[in-house]
A and B are shown apart, each in its own frame.
Chain A
Amino acid sequence: MNRQSTGPDSFAAETTVVVSHLTRKFGSFTAVDNVSFTVARGEIFGFLGANGAGKTTTIRMLCGLLKPSSGSASVAGLDVYHQPEKIKTKIGYMSQQFSLYEDLTVRENIQFYGGIYGLSRLQIRSKTDELLHYLNLWDQVDVLTRDLPLGWKQRMALSSAILHDPPIIFLDEPTSGVDPASRREFWLLIYELAARGKTVFVTTHYMDEAEYCHRVSIMKDGRIVELDKPERLKNKYAAKNMQQVFINIVKGKDK
């Protein structure tokens, strides 16, 4: 990616996600183990980790989908224990499972999500136009979503998740299974959002994508083992790229 964005300069900037000692257990198994971090406004915050590290579980707790076992967390100043429904008006969420209705058309999906986010009929119409132009989906507006290529589906899913213009956006493995060109386009979208002052919280297991984040945290077995800017991590592990950083961490080297 050519464009270089540095994100918010200091962490004294306004924080929108504050997590401290957050833990979630399933029975005796601890999926998320005592994690703490903060995310600043306008930041692209990367959440890295192998499958099963606990990324999805953390996101779900922050979105109010899952009650934490202990610890505290607030999103947009709202408490995840007591105000999960208020949080839901402030966030956009794209789950790791594809979340559009495949048996609805492109237009119908946008209409539906706009409607349940409480947009007016007029707003929905203008949003639909805007989105379709933007995504270049005008020709496919009445095509069933299941017939779209995966890359488009994913961009559409993102667009539907942010129809209501939320300040914070959670993306759970938004680009898994997509070809490199589509991934690039997807990340361009993410950058644009950040440029508009949105906070983007994104999980991925593609290490090249980690380079695009302002800061990344690396999870392993439910814990955050590293949290810093990509360059600093590369320096620390004397690695050429994030791929190597990750391998070093997972193998437990250089510790």
Chain B
Amino acid sequence: MSRIFYLVQKEFRQIRRERAFIFIIFVMPFIQIVLFGFAVNTDVRYVPIAFVDMDRSQTSRRLLTAFCANETYTYSGMAATEEMAKSLLDIGKIQIAVVIPPHFERDLRTGNRPQVQAIIDGVDGNSAGLVLGYVGQIALQLQKEWLPDTGMPDGSPPVGLTEIVPRMWYNDSLESKNNIVPGIIATLVTMITAFLTGMSIVREKEIGTLEQLMVTPVHKNELIIGKTLPFMVVGFLLLNVGILAAGLIFGLWMKGSLLALWGFGLIFMLSTLGLGIFASTLAHTQQQAMFVVWFFALFAMLLSGFFIPIENMPRAIQLVTYLNPLRYFMKVVREIYLKGTPVIYLWKQALFMLVFGVVMILGASARFQKRVG
């Protein structure tokens, strides 16, 4: 067992000598959390809007102001014709054009039901959908307001309108960062631990020291533990630096138990470390190992529900995500952070992660040979 001590000690000495690692472990989490905590936001705001007002009446102007008052839109001018509006859309100057027909006011008064057109740039299907929704809401608002003044038949019954009252639990300000920041922590831990483990073995392979290790009486498992334990410690440090960064920068502290998060974190790292070893057995050069890890990191990140909810994905891809250990860790981190979900509700995730980790480590160590060639 003392051999493991020496292997681990050596690894730490090497890590300490590489200044870039210190930066990556202690500084990067702060930078990433700041950058991406603010970046991720699917709420559409400041959508540039232009109008084609062919009525030029008081009512049409009221419609314009109703749109401009909403912070979803940023007024960016009037267009004389629909064609001009369309060319503004073409070059991306505006994202929506509202066209008010001639005699809008008169038709409204006489109950002729005029038709307003909203021309929307649909390239970004999601924001377009949201923009569309807001258009409807504004229209509904105006309908209510104008109803008394219109020439509706007098006999029509009074109308009761339903109104949706949203209650946002766990994150009532709908701050994206509350969700994304824990996700970044999980992603960083994944990328860095898998990467460091994979690289460190292949590097020794390239340099030739691995061959030297292989002719020593060190047991294969000691070698593997010696290569994983240090990076588990690094990952654990990174996790805590991330937690600190989230708290210090965004004031975002977890609602649930820190101890639980630590436990889940360690279980999760079995998978990423196993993956690192696995990558090192596949690769002959650091470049190849890098590609393997890189591929995995993207896979893990995109299919974890980090910023694309898994429910949105096609069924087949949803099935694939079950093979992604980060999927479970992502869930756990968020639940603990935002909902304070008690651990008993998360046993399934823990189990999956554990199974993954054990299979990965065992599989990787089966492939790992104390031989060359």
Asked whether, in the complex, the Cβ of A104 is within 8 Å of the Cβ of B211, the reply is no
Distance A7 CA – B154 CA, assembled complex (angstroms): 124
Min CB distance B329 to A, Å, is: 32
Chain B residues whose CB sits within 8 angstroms of the CB of A183 once the complex forms: none
Asked whether, in the complex, the Cβ of B372 is within 8 Å of the Cβ of A60, the reply is yes
Q: Which of A99, A102, A103, A112 contacts B211 (CB 8 A)?
A: A99
**Known contacts A112-B6, A117-B216, A118-B217: A99-B208 contact under CB 8 Å:** yes
Asked whether, in the complex, the Cβ of B216 is within 8 Å of the Cβ of A65, the reply is no
Asked whether, in the complex, the Cβ of B211 is within 8 Å of the Cβ of A115, the reply is no
Distance A20 CA – B2 CA, assembled complex (angstroms): 38
Q: Quick one: CB contact mask for B203-229 with A, threshold 8 Å, 1 for yes?
A: 000011101111111110000000000
Asked whether, in the complex, the Cβ of A95 is within 8 Å of the Cβ of B212, the reply is yes
Determine whether A67 belongs to the interface, using a CB cutoff of 8 Å to chain B.
yes
Q: Which of B3, B6, B209, B373 contacts A111 (CB 8 A)?
A: B6
Asked whether, in the complex, the Cβ of B10 is within 8 Å of the Cβ of A65, the reply is no
Asked whether, in the complex, the Cβ of A97 is within 8 Å of the Cβ of B6, the reply is no
CB closest chain-A residue, reference B16:
A103
Between A99, A104, A118, the greatest number of chain B beta carbons within 10 A of the residue's beta carbon is seen for A99
Between A98, A101, A104, the greatest number of chain B beta carbons within 10 A of the residue's beta carbon is seen for A101
The main secondary structure of chain B at its interface with chain A is helix
Determine whether B371 belongs to the interface, using a CB cutoff of 8 Å to chain A.
yes
Chain B residues whose CB sits within 8 angstroms of the CB of A108 once the complex forms: 10, 13
Distance A103 CA – B219 CA, assembled complex (angstroms): 24
Chain A residues whose CB sits within 8 angstroms of the CB of B2 once the complex forms: 115, 118
Distance A103 CA – B212 CA, assembled complex (angstroms): 16
Chain A residues whose CB sits within 8 angstroms of the CB of B7 once the complex forms: 112, 115-116
Among residues 75 to 119 in chain A, which have CB atoms less than 8 Å away from a CB atom of chain B?
84-85, 88-89, 91, 93, 95, 97-104, 108, 111-118
User: How big is the B interface, by class?
Assistant: 20 to 34
Q: Which of B6, B208, B371 contacts A116 (CB 8 A)?
A: B6
Q: Quick one: CB contact mask for B1-31 with A, threshold 8 Å, 1 for yes?
A: 0110111011001100110000000000000
Asked whether, in the complex, the Cβ of A103 is within 8 Å of the Cβ of B5, the reply is no
Chain B residues whose CB sits within 8 angstroms of the CB of A115 once the complex forms: 2-3, 5-7, 9
Distance A112 CA – B226 CA, assembled complex (angstroms): 12
Asked whether, in the complex, the Cβ of B216 is within 8 Å of the Cβ of A66, the reply is no
Asked whether, in the complex, the Cβ of B17 is within 8 Å of the Cβ of A103, the reply is yes
Distance A56 CA – B297 CA, assembled complex (angstroms): 38
Min CB distance B356 to A, Å, is: 30
**Known contacts A66-B373, A111-B6: A99-B212 contact under CB 8 Å:** yes
Determine whether A190 belongs to the interface, using a CB cutoff of 8 Å to chain B.
no
CB closest chain-B residue, reference A111:
B6
Asked whether, in the complex, the Cβ of B216 is within 8 Å of the Cβ of A101, the reply is no
Chain A residues whose CB sits within 8 angstroms of the CB of B372 once the complex forms: 60, 65-66
Determine whether A63 belongs to the interface, using a CB cutoff of 8 Å to chain B.
yes
Among residues 93 to 152 in chain A, which have CB atoms less than 8 Å away from a CB atom of chain B?
93, 95, 97-104, 108, 111-118, 144
Asked whether, in the complex, the Cβ of A60 is within 8 Å of the Cβ of B373, the reply is yes
Distance A60 CA – B218 CA, assembled complex (angstroms): 17
**Known contacts A99-B208, A112-B9: A63-B215 contact under CB 8 Å:** yes
Distance A235 CA – B217 CA, assembled complex (angstroms): 43
Between B7, B208, B215, the greatest number of chain A beta carbons within 10 A of the residue's beta carbon is seen for B215
Between A26, A84, A95, A116, the greatest number of chain B beta carbons within 10 A of the residue's beta carbon is seen for A116
Asked whether, in the complex, the Cβ of A64 is within 8 Å of the Cβ of B215, the reply is yes
Chain A residues whose CB sits within 8 angstroms of the CB of B215 once the complex forms: 63-65, 88, 91, 93, 95
Chain B residues whose CB sits within 8 angstroms of the CB of A116 once the complex forms: 3, 6-7, 213, 216-218
Distance A177 CA – B97 CA, assembled complex (angstroms): 75
Among residues 285 to 309 in chain B, which have CB atoms less than 8 Å away from a CB atom of chain A?
none
Min CB distance B158 to A, Å, is: 82
Min CB distance A139 to B, Å, is: 21
Distance A115 CA – B371 CA, assembled complex (angstroms): 21
Chain B residues whose CB sits within 8 angstroms of the CB of A117 once the complex forms: 216-217
CB closest chain-B residue, reference A63:
B215
Asked whether, in the complex, the Cβ of A97 is within 8 Å of the Cβ of B217, the reply is no
Chain A residues whose CB sits within 8 angstroms of the CB of B3 once the complex forms: 115-116, 118
Distance A118 CA – B219 CA, assembled complex (angstroms): 11
CB closest chain-A residue, reference B216:
A116
Asked whether, in the complex, the Cβ of B211 is within 8 Å of the Cβ of A88, the reply is no
Distance A174 CA – B2 CA, assembled complex (angstroms): 30
Chain A residues whose CB sits within 8 angstroms of the CB of B213 once the complex forms: 116
Asked whether, in the complex, the Cβ of A66 is within 8 Å of the Cβ of B211, the reply is no
CB closest chain-B residue, reference A94:
B212
CB closest chain-A residue, reference B208:
A97
Min CB distance A67 to B, Å, is: 7
Asked whether, in the complex, the Cβ of A101 is within 8 Å of the Cβ of B217, the reply is no
Distance A158 CA – B313 CA, assembled complex (angstroms): 59
- Given A98-B207, A103-B18, A116-B218, 8 new contacts (CB under 8 A): A85-B219, A95-B208, A95-B211, A101-B10, A115-B2, A115-B6, A116-B213, A161-B212
Q: What are some 5 contacts across the A-B interface (CB < 8 A)? A: A65-B371, A104-B10, A104-B13, A104-B17, A116-B3
Q: Lowest 6 CB-CB distances: which A-B pairs, in order?
A: A115-B6, A97-B208, A99-B212, A93-B215, A89-B217, A112-B10
Residue numbers of B with Cβ under 8 A of A are 2-3, 5-7, 9-10, 13-14, 17-18, 207-209, 211-219, 370-373
